[in-house]
């Protein structure tokens, strides 16, 4: 591994006024497609998208969101050929534990902004100062205010190695790690490849599969496999496209704010525990902040490309191999759409059986929430903070 850099450069978000004006112009000029009126069944609902775009153009205050994000101390640092952006909030407590938070797609580092202070300063948020963390929240390479890789090969495994360099650049030889979505893959690989650096891994997904698949699977695993297969058939078209031809998709999404908003909003609705009404789970301003970051940084193409990188370099555990670092999980339930319904009609895959995870991970904590979906730091922030504190407490 290359030596870690020793210097970082302070960073503040400052989108030029011309970019805001250009966005409004493009929103005004939206060219709507001809569609069969099918609600959400074939993608983003036309009426919802119209309302969302109106809010983005007329009500959403990017400057207020920018100021809020700039309240977080940020920096950029070169790491093995790519410049990475991150938040670094030092903890207030007797011995803060370094913690790196890794987001996924189509999220950004802003997903963490409402939990960072509670993690860093628990005493000011009704907690025990002994649970304080030094919080580091980077933007994945190719996402947000991190640079895009200039050459192929920026896989989740490569990002995990970059995170070790990042934490060493900040003076942390050993640290805690949490991740959701792609961040869960990165965090799992951090723990697998760099166990000497990671005190524990807390994950929002079971992102690795145990190497021994020869044994007969029990009924609960067969049910989970059926649910997963059904979900993939209905929901994973985006994976096939982003994993094979991300550039073709990027031209349209990067040129049309309406297209970008439709692509991202549909996933936030499908993956959050919102009962079909996105704003019941996550405030509209949060969604528009994420979409705006993708828009202003021109990163939807470079972010989506991570699916191709992962497909070309899959990680498969050998028989008997697993993550031995202590691991905790905060997982979503499949959710409900009303009765009568079967498990195949649930809007999300939900948690696998614990035994499946234990073949790949040293599971020390296992929490499946009744409410809350794919974005726990936004949907159930208090539960998220409590779970992270509780898991890492004995590992300090």
The overall longest dimension of the chain from CA atoms, in Å, is 61
What average pLDDT is seen over the chain? Answer: 93
Distance CA(198)–CA(201), nearest Å, equals 7
pLDDT bucket at 393, cuts 50 / 70 / 90: very high
Separation of alpha carbons 151 and 81, rounded Å: 10
Which residues, in sequence order, are bridge partners of residue 88?
136
Could you give the count of Cα atoms lying within 13 Å of 9 in the half-sphere of its Cβ? 11
- Identify the weakest region by mean pLDDT among 262-271, 319-328, 330-339: 330-339
What pLDDT is recorded for position 253? 98
Element (H, E) at 98: strand 97-102
Domains, the chain, in order of start with CATH, read: 9-25+44-209+219-395 (3.40.50.1820)
pLDDT digits (tens, 9 = 90+) for 139-185: 999 999 999 998 999 999 999 999 999 999 999 999 999 999 999 99
pLDDT for res 2: 42
* pLDDT tens profile 179-236: 999 999 999 999 999 999 999 999 999 999 987 766 678 888 888 888 888 888 888 8
């Amino acid at each position: 591994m290359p030596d870690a850099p020793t210097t970082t450069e302070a960073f503040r978000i400052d989108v030029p006024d011309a970019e805001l004006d250009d966005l409004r112009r493009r929103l005004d000029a939206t060219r709507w497609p001809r569609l069969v009126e099918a609600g959400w069944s074939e993608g983003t609902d036309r009426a919802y998208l119209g309302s969302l775009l109106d809010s983005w153009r007329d009500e959403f205050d990017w400057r207020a969101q920018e100021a809020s994000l700039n309240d977080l101390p940020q920096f950029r640092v070169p790491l093995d050929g790519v410049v990475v952006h991150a938040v670094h909030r030092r903890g207030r407590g007797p011995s803060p534990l370094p913690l790196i938070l890794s987001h996924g797609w189509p999220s950004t580092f802003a997903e963490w902004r409402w939990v960072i202070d509670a993690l860093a300063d628990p005493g000011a948020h009704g907690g025990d100062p002994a649970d304080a963390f030094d919080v580091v929240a980077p933007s994945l390479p190719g996402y947000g205010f991190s640079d895009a890789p200039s050459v192929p090969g920026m896989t989740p495994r490569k990002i995990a190695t970059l995170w070790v360099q990042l934490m060493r650049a900040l003076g942390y030889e050993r640290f805690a790690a949490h991740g959701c979505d792609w961040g869960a893959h990165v965090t799992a690989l951090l723990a697998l490849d760099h166990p000497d650096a990671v005190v524990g891994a807390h994950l929002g997904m079971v992102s690795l599969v145990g190497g021994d698949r020869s044994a007969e699977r029990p009924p609960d695993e067969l049910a989970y496999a059926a649910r997963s297969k059904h979900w993939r058939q209905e929901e994973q078209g985006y994976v096939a496209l982003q994993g094979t031809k991300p550039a073709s998709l990027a031209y349209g999404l990067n040129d049309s704010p309406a297209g970008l908003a439709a692509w991202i909003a549909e996933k936030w609705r499908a993956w959050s525990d919102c009962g079909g009404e996105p704003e019941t789970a996550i405030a509209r301003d949060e969604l528009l902040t994420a979409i705006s970051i993708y828009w202003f940084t021109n990163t939807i193409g470079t972010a989506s490309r991570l699916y191709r990188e992962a497909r070309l370099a899959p990680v498969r555990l050998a028989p008997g191999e697993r993550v031995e670092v202590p691991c905790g999980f905060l997982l979503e339930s499949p959710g409900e759409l009303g009765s009568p319904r079967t498990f195949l009609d649930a809007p999300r895959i939900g948690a696998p059986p614990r035994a499946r995870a234990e073949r790949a991970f040293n599971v020390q904590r296992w929490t499946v929430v009744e409410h809350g979906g794919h974005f726990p730091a936004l949907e159930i922030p208090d539960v998220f903070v409590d779970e992270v504190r509780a898991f890492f407490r004995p590992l300090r």
